[in-house]
Amino acid sequence: MTYQIADDEERSGGRRFPWPNPGPRILSAARSGLADYGLLIAFFAGWQIASSVEWLNPAVFPPLDRVAYALYLGISSGALIDDIAISLQRSGIAFGAAIAFGIPLGLFMGQIRAVERALDPILQLFRQTSALAVYPVFILMMGLGEASKVFVIFWATLFPILLATIGGVKEVDAKLIEMARTFGASRLTTFRRVVLPASVPSIFVGLRLSATTALLLLIAAEMIGANKGVGFQVMNAQYNFQIPLMFAAIFLLAFLGLAANWVLILLQRRLCRWSPNTP
Partner 1 sequence: MSSIETRTKGEVTIRDLTKSFKIDGETLTVLRKVSLDIRGGESLAIVGASGSGKTTLLRVLAGLEEPDGGDVLIDGAPVHGLGRERAVIFQEPRLLLWLRVLGNVAFGLEVQGVDRAEAEERARRYIRLVGLTEFETAWPRQLSGGMAQRVGIARALTVQPEILLLDEPLGALDAMTKMTMQEELTRIWDEEKVTMVLVTHDLEEAIYLADRVLVLPKEKGGSVRLLDIDLPRPRDRNGARFVTFRKQLMAEFGLH
Where does this chain bind partner 1 (CB under 8 A)? 1-3, 5-7, 173, 175-176, 178-185, 189-190, 193-194, 197-198, 200, 272-276
* Smallest distance from partner 1 to CB 29, Å: 27
- With the C-alpha atoms ordered 270, 103, 178, 182, is the resulting torsion angle positive or negative? positive
* Smallest distance from partner 1 to CB 46, Å: 43
What is the C-alpha to C-alpha distance for residues 215 and 273, in angstroms, rounded to an integer?
27
What is the C-alpha to C-alpha distance for residues 104 and 115, in angstroms, rounded to an integer?
14
Q: Report the residue number, 130 or 189, with the smaller CB distance to partner 1.
A: 189
Residues 161 and 98 sit within 8 Å (Cβ to Cβ):
yes
* Smallest distance from partner 1 to CB 207, Å: 17
What is the C-alpha to C-alpha distance for residues 188 and 180, in angstroms, rounded to an integer?
11
CA 82 to chain centre: 21
Q: Report the residue number, 3 or 241, with the smaller CB distance to partner 1.
A: 3
* Smallest distance from partner 1 to CB 265, Å: 18
| Contacts of 150 by beta carbon, 8 Å cutoff, 6+ apart | 90, 93, 94, 97
Q: Report the residue number, 105 or 200, with the smaller CB distance to partner 1.
A: 200
* Smallest distance from partner 1 to CB 117, Å: 23
Q: Report the residue number, 1 or 40, with the smaller CB distance to partner 1.
A: 1
What is the C-alpha to C-alpha distance for residues 70 and 206, in angstroms, rounded to an integer?
35
Q: Report the residue number, 2 or 227, with the smaller CB distance to partner 1.
A: 2
